[in-house]
Structure 1
Amino acid sequence: MTDTRRITTPFTAQSTAAEVVEGVDLTGRRVVVTGGASGIGVETARALAGAGAEVTLAVRNLEAGERTAEDIVATTGNKQVLVAPLDLADRASVAAFVAAWEGPLHILVNNAGVMASPETRTPEGWELQFATNHLGHFALATGLHPALAAAGGARVVSVSSSAHLRSPVVFEDIHFRERAYEPWLAYGQSKTANVLFAVEASKRWAADGIAVNALMPGGIRTNLQRHVAEEDLQAMVRQSSAAGLVWKTPEQGAATSVLVATSPLLDGVGGRYFEDCNEAEPHQEGTRRGVAPYALDPEAAALLWQVSIDTLAA
C-alpha cells in the first residue's frame, strides 16, 4: 500500500541548499541541471557539486555556463563540473543533448524557465512559456529515461511555482490560439504542467526506480523576472510580505530543489509537491501557498502526458 502521509523535514524556508545537502555523499553520482548558469540553478548545481556529484550545466548561453562552472569548481574544489548546450524551446537542441548523453544519470533537475514573457511563439507555433517550461523538459526527461532507469534509484526534480495557482492547464487552448494571450496565465499553466508531469512520470517510471517530484522554490530575485516591470516586481514583494511570505536568497531558493534531489527522507517518494523544504499542504483560498487540487489530478496528468507526446511527434 502506498504511504500517503505528508512528508516533513527538519528544514524550513530559511534553510540553504548547503544545509539541506550536508551529510549527503553524491560521489559517483551524475547530475544534470537545466538553466544551471543563472539564479537558483547556480546554487542548486553548487550544492550538488559540493556533495561530490559530477554536475552538467545544461545551458543556452555557453559562455555564462563556462563562467559558472569555473566559479563552482573554485568554491567547491570539485573539478567535475561540465557544460553542455541546451535550448529547451528547440526540439533539435533537446534531441542533440539526449543523443550526446552516455551512461547513467542519477539526478535530473528541470530548473530552467521563462516567466511572464511577451507573446512569443516557437517555429511550430507553440506558446513559448509552455514550450520551454513544460514541453522542452518533457522531451528531455523522456529522452533521458533510459539513462535514469540505468542509474537505479534516480530522481527527477520538476521546478514549479506558486504561480501554478493562477491557472490549470487549459487543454482546449493551451497555446492561446483562441483566447487573448495573458503572460501570467501562460506562465501559471506551464507551472501546473510541471507538477502534473511529476504525478504521471512517477506513476509510469516507479518500476524503474525513478522518483519524480515537483516543488516551489519561493520568491527570489533572479534573471527569471527580466520580463517583469520593476513596479510590478515591487508590488509582488509587497503582496508576498502581506501574505507572510519572505523573499529568499538564491541559496535559500535552491534548498527545496536540492532537498527533493537528495534527501534520504524522500527515498521512494514520488508525485508530490514541496515548498519551503516540506511537502505542501492543499491550497487554501486567499493564500499563495499550497498545491492546487488540479495540479495533482491524475486524469489531467495522464491527459497532459498524451498531449505532450502527440505535440512533440507532430
Structure 2
Amino acid sequence: MGATERVTTRFTAESTAAEVLADVDLSGHRSVVTGASSGIGVETARALAGAGSEVTLAVRDVEVGRRVAADITATTGNTALRVARLDLADLASIAAFVAGWSGPLHALVNNAGIMATPELRTPQGWELQFGTNHLGHFALADGLRPALAAAGGARVVAVSSAAHLRSAVEFDDIHFERRPYHPWAAYGQSKTANVLFAVEATRRWAADGISANALMPGAIMTNLQRHIDSGEAERVRARSGVPARAWKTVEQGAATSVLLAASPLLDGVGGRYFEDCAEAPLHTPGSVSGVAPYALDPAAAERLWDVSLHTLG
C-alpha cells in the first residue's frame, strides 16, 4: 500500500466489531483495552475475545470489570479474560499496571477517556482531560513498549474523536494556566494529542515493529457523556451535524477500534486517522468529519512527544 494511498476496507459505518473480526483467528494474541468496563470499551474487548485473543480489561473499578469479563466469557466462550486496575490520572497506578505485565503484548487499545469535565486537575496539577486522555495513555504505552516490541508487529490504537477539530494542542498553555478554561476546548486538545501520539509512535517505534493509528468511533451515546446534563447532551447531538439515524450502537462504535487493533487489513499501516472503518480524508470547512491537518503534523507530533516526556519526568 503506497504511503499516500488512503486506506479503505469493505466495512462501513454500519459494520459491528464482531463482523470486522468474524474471519480473524487471534489464537495466541494478547490485548489490553483501557476503559473496558463500559461503552465501546466493552464491545471492543468482546470482539477481540470472540476472535480468540487473551484480553486484559484495564479499568478503574475492578469489581465492575470482573462482571464485564464474566459477561464476555458467557457470550464468547473465551475464558482468557483478565481484569487489572488502571487509573490513567494516577501515575502510580499506571506504573503498577506496567510492572504487573509480563510477556508479549500484541494490541494496546487506548480507549478510556473523560469528556467535557469541569475544570479539574490531576495530583500533579495537569488539566485533567489532557492528563487522562493523553498523558496517562502516553505513559502506559511507553511503559508497555518492551512488551509491544516482544510481540512483533504490535499495534497501538488511540481512540480519538471528531472533537479534535475543536482545538489543536496549544503548546503555549496546554493546562489552561493563563487562558480561560473551556471544557470542550480542553477535550478537543486532548483528542488531537491522541492523533499526534499515533503519528509519532509509528515513527519512533518502527524499528520495534510497532504501529499506531487513531480513530473516531462515531457518534454514540455512552457513559462518556456523564459530565453533560441532558440539555447539553441534546445540544451536542444537534451541533454534531449527525442525523439521528446515523448515531451508532456501541457494537458499531467499536468496529473501527478492532479493525485497527487486529485486522490483517491494517498490517503495516501506521500514523493515520480512521472513521467508519476507513482512513479519513482531510477535514474540509463546514464538515463534521475528516482529520485536521494539524493533528497529522509531524513537527507537532514530535514536539508533543518531547513535551510529554518532559512533563512525565
How high is the TM-score relative to the length of structure 1? 0.98
Deviations 1:290-311 (A, max 9, x none): 0000000000000000000000
Deviation, 1:263, is: 1.6
- Partner of residue 44, structure 1: 44
Deviations 1:167-221 (A, max 9, x none): 0000000000000100000000000000000000000111111110000001111
User: Map of 1:90-109 to 2, 5 A cutoff?
Assistant: 90-109=90-109
Provide the rounded CA distance (Å) in 1 between the counterparts of 2:64 and 2:231.
Answer: 28
Provide the rounded CA distance (Å) in 1 between the counterparts of 2:276 and 2:106.
Answer: 23
Deviation, 1:3, is: 2.2
Identity of aligned residues (%): 71
**Contact 1:240/1:246 (<8 A) preserved:** no
Deviation, 1:238, is: 2.7
**Contact 1:237/1:247 (<8 A) preserved:** no
- Partner of residue 221, structure 1: 221
- Partner of residue 18, structure 2: 18
Matched residue SS, 2:303 = helix
User: Map of 1:1-314 to 2, 5 A cutoff?
Assistant: 3-241=3-241, 246-313=246-313
Deviation, 1:241, is: 5.0
Task: Call closer, same or farther: CA 1:192–1:245 in 2, change over 3 Å.
Answer: farther
Provide the rounded CA distance (Å) in 2 between the counterparts of 1:264 and 1:58.
Answer: 24
Instruction: Name the Cα RMSD after superposition.
Output: 1.2
Matched residue SS, 1:33 = strand
Between 238-247 and 26-35, the greater mean CA deviation after superposition:
238-247
**Contact 1:243/1:288 (<8 A) preserved:** no
Q: AA paired with 1:267?
A: D
Provide the rounded CA distance (Å) in 2 between the counterparts of 1:115 and 1:89.
Answer: 14
**Contact 1:31/1:55 (<8 A) preserved:** yes
Q: AA paired with 2:9?
A: T
Matched residue SS, 2:32 = strand
- The runs of 4+ residues in structure 1 deviating greater than 4 Å are 241-245
Deviations 1:55-104 (A, max 9, x none): 00000011110110000000000000110000000000001100110000
Which runs of no fewer than 5 residues in structure 1 stay unpaired?
none
Provide the rounded CA distance (Å) in 2 between the counterparts of 1:118 and 1:21.
Answer: 38
Matched residue SS, 2:205 = helix
**Contact 2:87/2:93 (<8 A) preserved:** yes
Deviation, 1:242, is: 5.6
Matched residue SS, 1:187 = helix
Provide the rounded CA distance (Å) in 2 between the counterparts of 1:252 and 1:268.
Answer: 24
Between 230-239 and 139-148, the greater mean CA deviation after superposition:
230-239
Q: AA paired with 2:174?
A: I
**Contact 1:243/1:287 (<8 A) preserved:** no
Matched residue SS, 1:75 = helix
Deviation, 1:245, is: 7.5
Task: Call closer, same or farther: CA 1:105–1:295 in 2, change over 3 Å.
Answer: same
Q: How many residues align?
A: 313
**Contact 2:33/2:56 (<8 A) preserved:** yes
Which runs of no fewer than 5 residues in structure 2 stay unpaired?
none
How high is the TM-score relative to the length of structure 2? 0.98
Task: Call closer, same or farther: CA 1:47–1:242 in 2, change over 3 Å.
Answer: closer
Deviation, 1:126, is: 0.2
Provide the rounded CA distance (Å) in 2 between the counterparts of 1:110 and 1:176.
Answer: 24
Q: AA paired with 1:70?
A: A
Between 77-86 and 240-249, the greater mean CA deviation after superposition:
240-249
Deviations 1:260-314 (A, max 9, x none): 111212111100000000000000101110000000000000000000000000x
Provide the rounded CA distance (Å) in 2 between the counterparts of 1:24 and 1:240.
Answer: 33
Task: Call closer, same or farther: CA 1:125–1:79 in 2, change over 3 Å.
Answer: same
Provide the rounded CA distance (Å) in 2 between the counterparts of 1:245 and 1:143.
Answer: 41
Provide the rounded CA distance (Å) in 1 between the counterparts of 2:204 and 2:62.
Answer: 33
**Contact 1:35/1:59 (<8 A) preserved:** yes
